[in-house]
Structure 1
Amino acid sequence: MTIRRVPLLFVSLVAAVALVATGCSAEADPTTATTAPPPADSVAGVTVPDAFTAITVIPIGNAPLPFRGSDGKYHVVYDLQLTNATAEPATLERIEVVDGLKPTKIIASFSGAALVDTTCTFGDCNRLRSLPAGYVDTAVIAPQESRVLFIDFTLDSLDDVPTALLHHLYGTGAASPAFGTPGPIDYLTTPVAISTETVPVIAPPLRGDNWIALNGCCEPGFPHRSSVMSVNGKLNNSQRFAIDWKRTNDAGEFYSGDKTSNESYVDYGTEILAVADGTVVSILDGMEANAPGTLPAHNPELAAKLTVENVDGNHVVLDIGGGVYAMYAHMISGSLTVKPGDKVTEGQVIGKLGNTGNANASHLHFQLMDGPSLLEADSLPYEFKSFDYDGQVDPSAIADADDYLSGTFLQGKLPKSESRTLELPLNLAIVDFP
């Protein structure tokens, strides 16, 4: 199966798997018995019917935190690990996300092309992946094998978001512990609580017009939504809500002149800003610029030099309080103006946009996460205080572009920009920052 890679691939790392624990206790004395604590994987008010489950389901990362996107809708985004825990093949034909307190209420449903489609390059397709996140050509899960499943859906109002979710699986697989001939499977499993945390609200990391949210949330056809990695003994995704910010000129071009020169790119050298008051946790500086048009991970000689520490290129991690960390990647060597321990204020220049690490063209990779380590942290959604929304880039234009991102990309720009507050620009949004 061949599915074309979308340009500007940047793969870093991680998230935190929610562990499912079970326990047993000795027979209790009825005169002294106390109420047993709920199972570690339980969610208040949610009942999971007992059933033999050929395909087990475990959440990857923390409880999903709903946020408002630039489409005006509220998005719920998370990942699941599916494992065929039997000796017989299992096939996932459909998975429904249902209200955990009202299991007959279907919130979202995924089947057919949404799970696997070898002809699809982007959009609502290919959500079912091998580990850690490679494409597959069938919804069959072989015995003792696992898959990743990317879940996301939208609701019109925050009031419509359930307090908890359940997952209804349909397909074929072993119907009992006897592992007999595969038959129909149909069961509810794996409660997931919706986070009640507050969505972080930040200032923009850049200034100026014609910024495009490359590789943004939420469908899995583009990085970073599907950048699950196997690190620290678990599957993680710290990039689930990351954006590669890249700027065009007024003609819609990412560069003018010599495409092999970093200085020809409109965004190269742009000042990068602190999105909130905070403290510098870590930096990396001194990595030289890449030549445009070549992704180091796809060049054996360059790939051999990539490590967990330098895949992001020159970068900065800020602690902006409340357990939230901001990460900026691919900056110009020597442009960083901060060091670990420095206090920064919102809007302060911390460096300049470049093309270092695993990048094939200049851009700012920006993300929020719940810890300082790219290996341990889970990705966090966020909303900007304000920006002007200018329309959308056609995803076909990006998918069909060469590795220099040649061409023009503002055909979907609105006649007049729209002022927005408390929203996250979604994939390929055209944005003006004040």
Structure 2
Amino acid sequence: MGARLLIIAIMTLSVGCTAAPAGAEDGPLSPIVVTPVPQQAIVPVKGSDGRYHVLYELQLTNTLDAGADLSAVEVIDEANRETLLKLDADDIVKGAYLHRLDRQIAPDTMFGPFQSRVLLLNLNFTSKDAIPRALTHRFEISGPDPFTKAPGTFAAASPSPRSSATMSRWRFPAA
């Protein structure tokens, strides 16, 4: 049984993207690396439900020669620490949030060795003003330690630069 890894990717939704240099974190690393899928702009869209939807994608890549499992995802408003979306493995599969790179819906949350998937997230808000300027993404992952291959439990708190995930910064364009 693989180790439970709690990783955090900090996403400050906006124009450019910068990543923490490899080895910059002091904590353990996850077997899965999270990267925002490049988009020209993330534009909130008012839906037929009257709510503003913010749709974006994250690419998750298992960097090891062993399997890993995405157990949970949580999206948090960085300003007030409110959870905006929380999905367990069943929610991810049933809601078709996880896709293979060929855009087919992933049948499960397992990542084979060196395999990538795209996580499609759709947040909705009552108004444009309610859209947060910064988000934190927490991913719970089962898998081996990338360095020792040994099972273990790892946790990191956000928005610490000592995160156990690859960190990226992103911003929403000003409304």
Give TM-score, length-normalised by structure 1. Answer: 0.31
* Counterpart residue type for residue 88 of structure 2: S
Other structure's SS at 1:180 match: coil
Other structure's SS at 2:70 match: strand
Change (3 A) 1:176 1:21: closer
Q: Counterparts of 1:4-403 in structure 2 under 5 Å?
A: 20=18, 50-62=27-39, 63-102=41-80, 104-117=81-94, 125-181=95-151, 183-184=152-153, 186-187=155-156, 189=165, 190-198=167-175
- Over residues 167-198 of structure 1, what are the superposed CA-to-partner deviations in whole Å (9 max), with x where a residue is unaligned? 101131123521223x4455555445342255
Change (3 A) 1:142 1:19: farther
Structure 1 residue runs of 4 or more that deviate by more than 4 Å after TM superposition: 18-24, 48-51, 183-189
Are the aligned partners of 1:52 and 1:176 in contact in 2 as well (CA < 8 Å)?
yes
Instruction: Give the gaps of 5 or more residues in structure 2.
Output: 1-15, 159-164
Change (3 A) 1:194 1:72: farther
- Over residues 351-389 of structure 1, what are the superposed CA-to-partner deviations in whole Å (9 max), with x where a residue is unaligned? xxxxxxxxxxxxxxxxxxxxxxxxxxxxxxxxxxxxxxx
Higher RCO structure (Cα 8 Å, ≥6 apart): 2
* Counterpart residue type for residue 76 of structure 1: V
State the Cα distance separating 1:22 from its structure 2 match. Answer: 5.8
Are the aligned partners of 1:171 and 1:186 in contact in 2 as well (CA < 8 Å)?
no
Are the aligned partners of 1:172 and 1:185 in contact in 2 as well (CA < 8 Å)?
no
**Distance in 1 separating the partners of 2:108 and 2:60:** 14
**Distance in 1 separating the partners of 2:19 and 2:53:** 29
Change (3 A) 1:174 1:61: same
Are the aligned partners of 2:77 and 2:135 in contact in 1 as well (CA < 8 Å)?
yes
**Distance in 2 separating the partners of 1:157 and 1:19:** 26
Change (3 A) 1:134 1:96: same
- CA-atom RMSD in angstroms: 2.9
**Distance in 2 separating the partners of 1:75 and 1:145:** 29
Flag the structure with higher strand content. 2
Kindly name which structure, 1 or 2, has the bigger radius of gyration based on alpha carbons: 1
* Counterpart residue type for residue 143 of structure 1: P
Other structure's SS at 1:115 match: helix
* Counterpart residue type for residue 150 of structure 2: G
Are the aligned partners of 1:93 and 1:111 in contact in 2 as well (CA < 8 Å)?
yes
Quote the sequence identity (%): 27
* Counterpart residue type for residue 66 of structure 1: P
- Name the residue aligned to 1:279: none
**Distance in 1 separating the partners of 2:27 and 2:130:** 28
**Distance in 1 separating the partners of 2:46 and 2:26:** 33
State the Cα distance separating 1:113 from its structure 2 match. Answer: 3.5
* Counterpart residue type for residue 29 of structure 2: F
Change (3 A) 1:87 1:108: same
